[in-house]
Amino acid sequence: MKISELVEKLRTKNKKYISRAISLIENENSNSIELLKELSDLTGNAYRIGITGPPGAGKSTITNELIKLLLNQNKSVGIIAVDPTSPFTGGAVLGDRIRMNEIGIKPNVFIRSMATRGSLGGLSIKTIDAADILDAAGFDYIIFETVGVGQSELDIAKTADTTMVVLVPESGDSVQAMKAGLMEIADFFVMNKSDRPGAETAILSLQTTLMLRDHDENTYLPKIVKCIASEGKGITDLLEEIKLHHKFLVDSNQFEERRKKNTRIRIKEIVERNLAIDIWSKQRNNLLDNNSSSPYVTAEKIIEHYKKEILEVKNQ
């Protein structure tokens, strides 16, 4: 199938072709770049939501409830799950997975899990590429569900228009180290399981930390939305908060700016990954082992070798 044909089919939200297109990207098929270039004029319409937080905070349940709410409002939703503990990606318990799958077969929903390990690498690039496919396919919303440990997972969540960080009252200690990272990317927080003991204390403590941060009139002060996702409680508030944040971005002229910044980061990653692929040819990989001297001397030799190769190719 020609790429232009695939793009045509995509546009009808046909799940088979959406899957195929994402697989081209995931497997780094030689046609994938052509596909992405063709799509670029068709993207930018979907609203992108990042959902992240520590394992066990209930991100998938929230995602699931949010999908249901959006479907009720006649919206379509694409989900990219890069969370190894998510029922969407085969983690968690069987009952959860079945429940999630029921949502997945509805016509206005497309769920794709992306492998976090054992893949060819470039995970954050590929998740954004996959989002472009869903965007071009015409989904109104795209949700990135990522587990909030590890820089690359945070990087993915950060590329959304609105990013929420899901916590539970017990998260306190275990997020200590991730906190700084999670704080920086949160447009708002969700305190899930807010009926549990310690919820109010956890909210107060979070609020205190948030107040201590530098802010001016262009800063959106992250709110804390309470919910009990397993009972479907608070999900409307959560969607409301997404819309408020969107409105803030638009009103303060930060919406396009944020998207541009994300595109810059994306291009940088693409460039660096392509250079890395370029430089680690078999020949230069062999140079890695001739390291009788300092690693820094070997590194210089490898870069020199690479530059010489560019020169030879260009002068041909």
Binding site for a copy of itself (CB under 8 A): 33, 36-37, 39-40, 54-56, 83-85, 117, 147, 149-152, 173-174, 176-178, 180, 260, 263-264, 266-268, 270-272, 274-276, 279-280, 288-289, 291, 293-299, 302-303, 306-307, 310-311, 314
Comparing CB distances to a copy of itself, the nearer of 170 and 237 is 170
Task: Provide the minimum distance between the beta carbon of 3 and a copy of itself in the complex, in angstroms, as a whole number.
Answer: 13
Are the C-beta atoms of residues 251 and 245 closer than 8 Å to each other?
A: no
Q: Minimum distance from CB of 236 to a copy of itself (Å)?
A: 29
Work out the widest C-alpha separation in the chain, in whole angstroms.
72
What tokens were used for 12?
Answer: 């009808």
Report the residue number, 244 or 279, with the smaller CB distance to a copy of itself: 279
Closer residue to a copy of itself, CB minimum distance, 119 or 236: 119
In whole angstroms, give the CA distance from residue 80 to residue 242: 18
Shortest distance in whole angstroms from residue 46 CB to a copy of itself: 16
CB of 37 to a copy of itself, least distance (A): 4
- Residue 180 CB-half CA count within 13 A: 2
| Least gap, CB of 202 to a copy of itself (angstroms) | 15
Cβ distance 81 to 211 under 8 Å?
A: no
Q: In the complex, what is the shortest distance from the CB of residue 302 to a copy of itself, in angstroms, rounded to a whole number?
A: 5
Sheet holding 188-192, edge to edge: 109-113, 77-82, 141-147, 47-53, 162-167, 188-192, 224-227
3-state SS class at 96: helix
By C-beta, is 2 or 314 nearer to a copy of itself?
A: 314
Please state the closest distance from residue 219 (CB atom) to a copy of itself, in A. Answer: 19
- Neighbour count for residue 50 (Cβ, 10 Å): 25
Other CB atoms within a 10 A radius of the CB of residue 43 amount to 15
DSSP string, 19-47: HHHHHHHHTT-TTHHHHHHHHGGG-S-SE
Nearer to a copy of itself (CB atom), residue 14 or residue 274: 274
* Of 207 and 298, CB closest to a copy of itself: 298
In angstroms, the CA 115 to CA 119 distance is: 6
CB distance 59 to 52 below 8 Å: yes
Tell me how far, at minimum, the Cβ of 131 lies from a copy of itself, in Å: 12
Residue closer to a copy of itself, measured from CB, 221 or 267: 267
Nearer to a copy of itself, 36 or 77 (CB): 36
Strand partners, 228: 233
Those residues whose C-beta lies under 8 Å from the C-beta of residue 234, and which sit 6 or more positions away, are: 190, 194, 225, 226, 227, 228
